[in-house]
A and B are shown apart, each in its own frame.
Chain A
Amino acid sequence: MPTTRLIANTKKYWLTCGVLALALSPCIAEAGLGQPESAVQADALQFKGSIKATEHAGYRVQEIQLPSGTLVREFVGADGIVFAVAWNGPTVPNLRQTLGQYFDKFVAAAQAKHGDHHHLQIQQSDLVVQAAGHMRAFSGRAYLPQAVPAGVSIGDLR
């Protein structure tokens, strides 16, 4: 997989990346929270999404636009690791893809809750997931509390 930093949505680049990613399919399984920034590329590919990056003080945001219109933002720290993901739009994205190794833990925690269908908060020492919304308009975030860089507000993870 290319490890170059992403700058723009370049179709040819992604075509190449797609072929490579398919050839190296284990990379796809390693996508998401807690994984290196290069995993974002696998996520975009899996989502059939376009991607753009923006720089912030202490972190970078890789934003993937899904065909459904939903935006997925992956937050990458200075260490190159994805420490948070956020989403908003008409659909809920594939969180198995964006939460990666933390997905099963998230589902187990969700099953233990019995709230209504429009809110979900999972608060554990190593994983926080906050999701809400209604049909046609969902939003949420998931982050690794210990990996959020100093000075970054949780409210900025959106």
Chain B
Amino acid sequence: MARFMRAASRARRFCLCAALCASVLSCGGGDSGLSPSGSSGSSGSSGSSPPTGANVVGVVVDAGPTSTSPDINTLFTTVTVCVPGSTTNCQTIDHIQVDTMSYGLRILAPVLTISLPVQPASNGSSLVECTAFADGYSWGPVALADVQVSGETASSVPVQVIGDPNFTSVPADCSGVGQAEDTVAAFGANGILGVGVFAQDCGSGCVSVVDNQVYYSCTSGSVQCQPTAVRSLAGEVANPISYFTADNNGVIIQLPSVAAAGAATVSGYMIFGIDTETNNKSGSQSVLTVSSSGSDAGDFTTVFNGQNLTTSFLDTGSNGFFFNDTDITQCTDSGFTDFYCPASTQSFTATLQGDNGVSVSESFSVGNTESIAQDDAAFGSLAGTFPGPGSSTTFDWGLPFYFGRTVYTAIQGSVTSVGTGPYVAF
């Protein structure tokens, strides 16, 4: 994505990278650089007074931590990780991607300056994880960390350290997923914070099945890692929100609207908890429950062009709207053939329908991908095709859906005043 943007603005990005790298390498619990009051460069307004409180952290859409970052429509925040129990052995890390369709905190080892304790597998050797994404894999050990986001603290959370040089032997079943994404450049962020509807990344399958393709036990110094079942759900890499002492039932993401032409940066908020504080009350939003298990875990139904797309999802980790409509002109530039390029922006309507039957009709726009300005990090009408067999059942509502909205995500089994998770509401 956005290769033309990178090539044209390499010098500017390099300066940005240098500045960010310096900030990444600074250690300790100092200013996160993303406190809500410190946010700047917002392209718009959410239309109400900004949320404040210990459960609020700033989020930003910008050019990312490196010149090879995905560049467009990627949402970042800042987290502080500490060695469990320590208040001084801590590190604040910016440009952690916020992803509502994954679960758990993962940090790229090259930016990590503190040493987090690696967790044992059930046989006593080290527990190491293979995290698959659709475009590659991230390999590294499971470690414990105290995770601080704004004023919230989660103690002794299992997190993944991606690309740890102590665990370089990648099992064939993991490297076989595709390209390695174990550097900041390859990953496009300093880490990823999965804050979706589940409390663990894998779930019960990794407790009951040895050959789960996710967890491995590795002996230090050995070239061999063996598939392993995790002792219990609590051993899996976890959504840190579920470890907060309060405000632990979900998250609200609030982003301003973005001008049609796009924006260089967009600043918004992530508010922890739903109906737990005065600043995170449920309103009159529609609550759509999502599937809690199976091959559609986390998904709901979208009705579009007369099709029932039963594995649809809201995803801050997708940088556009991804769905198939052969009537929309696709781009011809070799870097963008997966994206849409109508001559002028087109508007569409689709219906989002929860498993609970609640449905909402929403309109969205599809713009010309090749028209995106070089310095834009946010573009509200970016859209492309959804690849592969899932295309016949999926409408992927990526980050542009969140622009100009407040979107609630409730964790499975968590109770709020308007329902029990897993649900999304907006």
Contacts and interface: CB of A to CB of B under 8 A. Distances in A.
A91 B296 CA distance: 13
A143 B187 CA distance: 26
B142 interface: no
A96 B135 contact: no
B96 to A, nearest CB: 14
Nearest to B211: A67
Contacts of A69: 205, 209
B101 A135 contact: yes
A94 B194 CA distance: 24
A117 B135 contact: yes
A117 B210 CA distance: 26
B140 to A, nearest CB: 16
A158 B392 contact: yes
B68 A118 contact: no
Interface stretch (B42-50, B169-177, B249-257, B343-351): B169-177
Interface residues of B, number: 71
B148 interface: no
Nearest to B322: A119
B133 A94 contact: no
A136 B203 contact: yes
B74 to A, nearest CB: 7
B66 to A, nearest CB: 10
B390 A132 contact: yes
B134 A118 contact: yes
Given A117-B134, A139-B388, A93 B176 contact: yes
Which one of A114, A117, A121 has the highest number of Cβ atoms from chain B below 10 Å of its Cβ?
A: A117
B319 A116 contact: yes
Contacts of B1: 113-116
Given A97-B176, A116-B74, A121 B387 contact: yes
B2 interface: yes
Contact of A119 (B73, B99, B201, B386): B386
A77 interface: no
B361 to A, nearest CB: 24
Contact of B134 (A68, A111, A131): A131
A17 interface: no
A136 B315 CA distance: 14
Contact of A118 (B6, B101, B311): B101
- Summarize B's interface: helix, strand, loop or mixed: loop
Nearest to B133: A117
Which one of A94, A115, A137 has the highest number of Cβ atoms from chain B below 10 Å of its Cβ?
A: A115
A54 interface: no
A90 interface: yes
Contacts of B135: 110, 113, 115-120, 131
A132 B388 contact: yes
B355 interface: no
B152 interface: no
A143 to B, nearest CB: 10
Contacts of B311: 137
A136 B202 contact: yes
A119 B212 contact: no
Contact of A120 (B68, B99, B387, B392): B387
B182 interface: no
B2 A110 contact: no
B338 A116 contact: no
Contact of B315 (A110, A134, A138, A139): A134
Nearest to B192: A117
B106 to A, nearest CB: 11
Nearest to B177: A92
A114 B134 contact: no
B176 A68 contact: no
Nearest to A157: B389
B323 to A, nearest CB: 11
Given A118-B134, A134-B317, A137-B299, A91 B389 contact: no
Contacts of B319: 115-116
A68 B213 contact: yes
Contacts of B388: 86, 130-132, 139-141, 158
A96 B101 contact: no
Interface in B29-48: none
Given A92-B177, A94-B176, A116-B318, A132 B386 contact: yes
A119 B229 CA distance: 28
A115 B131 CA distance: 17
Interface string B354-393: 0000000000000000000000000000001111111110
B150 to A, nearest CB: 24
Q: Shortest 4 CB-CB distances between A and B: which pairs?
A: A94-B176, A158-B389, A130-B388, A130-B387
Interface of B: 1-3, 6, 68-71, 73-74, 99, 101-103, 131-137, 172-173, 175-179, 181, 186, 188, 192, 194, 196, 198, 201-203, 205, 209-214, 295-299, 311, 313, 315, 317-319, 322, 337-338, 384-392, 394, 396, 398
9 contacts: A67-B209, A92-B134, A94-B176, A114-B6, A119-B134, A119-B387, A134-B101, A134-B102, A141-B388
